[in-house]
Amino acid sequence: MYYEIRTYRLKNGAIPDYLKVVEEEGITIQKQHLGRLVGYFYSEIGPINEIVHIWAFASLDERQERRAALMADPAWRAFLPKIRDLIELADNKIMKPAAFSPLGASLPA
């Protein structure tokens, strides 16, 4: 199992606007293509104006195929400008859980 951890630093004060448009439009499109959403978070303490979302994939090939399908979707391409100007920096990591991790090597239920 692989976990994609995407972290965005938003412009000051943009978290409410970002979350609203993602909840109303974006997350449905993402779930259709990306599959398993592990979590979607925003910062309260620590680095401010930060969004983190985590997606689970059985393999890196699956991730690549799902991401390509998302990017090919006209609805997603139409949605992107709604969040693009709210994001200042983006970081992306692919992580693999340790054998003793609660998430283990399989998809969580």
The pLDDT value given to residue 105: 59
The pLDDT value given to residue 102: 85
Domain count, the chain: 1
Tell me if 101 is assigned to some domain: no
Q: What is the pLDDT along the chain (109 residues), one digit of tens a residue?
A: 899 999 999 999 999 999 999 999 999 999 999 989 999 999 988 888 999 999 999 999 999 999 999 999 999 999 999 999 999 999 999 999 888 888 775 554 4
- Taking alpha carbons only, the member of 106, 109, 8 closest to residue 57 is 106
Q: Give the CATH number, domain containing residue 58.
A: 3.30.70.100
With b for 16 or more beta-carbon neighbours within 10 A and e for fewer, the 12-48 pattern comes to eebbeebbeebeebbbebbeebbeeeeebebeeeeee
Identify the domain containing residue 77 by its residue range.
2-95
Tell me if 106 is assigned to some domain: no
